[in-house]
């Protein structure tokens, strides 16, 4: 199979082509595994964190990619759920032990044995991959392969973040950072909380206009003060300043959910602007969202099909994965980036 592999950690500023196109033997599905013929794989900001070493893969080389859509090609001897030819998706959660206190409580995303697709095991930047059948999902028919890819991470993690806000219908929701996940969360939130107003912080006028187009009640710059306080805010930016700025707009007792696997160090000094009485006093909370549980992925796929959410995608051929990553790093975002593998 053809695959784009990461051989060595690198900063994308210094190395604009950290992934190398290679030919590898097709993996063989284990007992409970399926072999997937990959059709598309989404490109996620987390790949930048893996490449640049903020959440490094434990072993190299590795095939990145955790928003995988394809068809089952073969099944392992004990695999029973899917038949060859069925369309399936794979998300960030590749494995968990299923037995610890977190797994039993439905928070397998916090499991110590949590393994991530495309970091701890080979992922979807390749023509084929294997995964345990219990960690694959049927994709609703309404979506094309490319449309389904961003739902598997940006959508599913965004959905978990939205759930963790504890928002009630009618309360104000803020979104800071308006990339692939923000777009999907806005659409899901409008459906799930029809009486809530959504406030979007985005850096460019273009992004702000896009947010209004998608139904945001208000859109403005990260530093701006919102016309009303926000009961919950989801932060999907990779940096710190927006977190501090958002906290001043948070309502008493409100919660800020940080949806980022790692934050970049570049503007960490912004945290020194944190003023207790302005930003935290009056029971304001900060909570992070870690990974996804399978429940988040399957529930979100169903919800997205019902609404329906059709993500805007921009396709790149597998061989151009490096270009897609460089563009993502430069934050040239409108639609989600998806690699076309087959």
Residue with tokens 């309360």: 171
The binder of Zn ion chosen from 40, 62, 111, 232 (CB under 5 A): 111
Query: Could you tell me which stretch among 8-16, 107-115, 134-142, 205-213 binds Zn ion (CB under 5 A)?
Result: 107-115
Q: Does 224 bind Zn ion (CB under 5 A)?
A: no
Q: Does 9 bind Zn ion (CB under 5 A)?
A: no
The binder of Zn ion chosen from 95, 153, 230, 257 (CB under 5 A): 153
Size of the site for Zn ion (CB under 5 A): 8
Q: For helices 294-306 and 156-165, what crossing angle results, to 10°?
A: 100
> Which positions from 32 to 61 touch Zn ion by CB under 5 A, shown as an x/- string?
------------x-x---------------
The binder of Zn ion chosen from 1, 17, 22, 100 (CB under 5 A): 100
Of 50 and 245, CB closest to Zn ion: 50
Q: Does 103 bind Zn ion (CB under 5 A)?
A: yes
Q: Does 184 bind Zn ion (CB under 5 A)?
A: no
Q: Does 196 bind Zn ion (CB under 5 A)?
A: no
Query: Could you tell me which stretch among 16-24, 95-103, 123-131, 264-272 binds Zn ion (CB under 5 A)?
Result: 95-103
Of 33 and 108, CB closest to Zn ion: 108
Smallest distance, Å, CB 261 to Zn ion? 8
The binder of Zn ion chosen from 97, 224, 265, 283 (CB under 5 A): 97
Q: Does 290 bind Zn ion (CB under 5 A)?
A: no
Smallest distance, Å, CB 91 to Zn ion? 8
Smallest distance, Å, CB 241 to Zn ion? 22
Smallest distance, Å, CB 166 to Zn ion? 23
Q: What is the distance of C-alpha 75 from the center of its chain?
A: 27
Which residues contribute to the site for Zn ion (CB under 5 A)? 44, 46, 96-97, 100, 103, 111, 153
């Amino acid at each position: 199979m053809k695959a784009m592999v990461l051989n060595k950690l690198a900063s994308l500023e210094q190395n604009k082509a950290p992934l190398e196109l290679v030919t590898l033997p097709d993996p063989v599905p284990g007992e409970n595994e399926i072999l997937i013929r990959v059709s598309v794989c989404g490109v996620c900001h987390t790949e930048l964190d893996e490449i640049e070493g903020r959440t490094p893969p434990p072993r190299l080389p590795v095939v990145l990619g955790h928003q995988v859509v394809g068809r089952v090609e073969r099944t392992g001897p004990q695999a029973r759920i899917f038949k060859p030819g069925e369309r399936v998706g794979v998300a960030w959660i590749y494995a968990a032990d299923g037995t610890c206190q977190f797994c039993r409580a439905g928070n397998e995303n916090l499991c110590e044995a949590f393994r991530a697709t495309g970091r701890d095991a080979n992922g979807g930047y390749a023509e084929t991959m294997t995964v345990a059948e219990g960690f694959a999902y049927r994709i609703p028919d309404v979506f094309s392969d490319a449309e389904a890819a961003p739902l598997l991470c940006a959508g599913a993690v965004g959905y978990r973040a939205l759930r963790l806000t504890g928002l009630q219908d009618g309360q104000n929701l803020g979104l800071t950072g308006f990339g692939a996940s923000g777009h999907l969360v806005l659409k899901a939130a409008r459906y799930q909380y029809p009486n809530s107003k959504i406030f979007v912080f985005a850096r460019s006028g273009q992004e702000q206009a896009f947010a209004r187009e998608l139904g945001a009640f208000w859109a403005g710059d990260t530093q701006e003060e919102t016309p009303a306080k926000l009961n919950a805010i989801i932060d999907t930016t990779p940096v710190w300043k927006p977190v501090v700025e958002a906290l001043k707009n948070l309502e008493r007792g409100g919660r800020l959910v940080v949806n980022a696997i790692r934050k970049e160090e570049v503007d960490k000094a912004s945290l020194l602007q944190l003023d207790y009485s302005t930003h935290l006093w009056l029971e304001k909370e900060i909570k992070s969202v870690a990974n996804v549980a399978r429940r988040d992925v399957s529930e979100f796929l169903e919800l997205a099909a019902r609404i329906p959410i059709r993500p805007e995608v921009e396709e790149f051929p597998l061989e151009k994965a490096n270009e897609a990553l460089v563009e993502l790093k430069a934050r040239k975002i409108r639609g989600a980036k998806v690699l076309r593998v087959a």
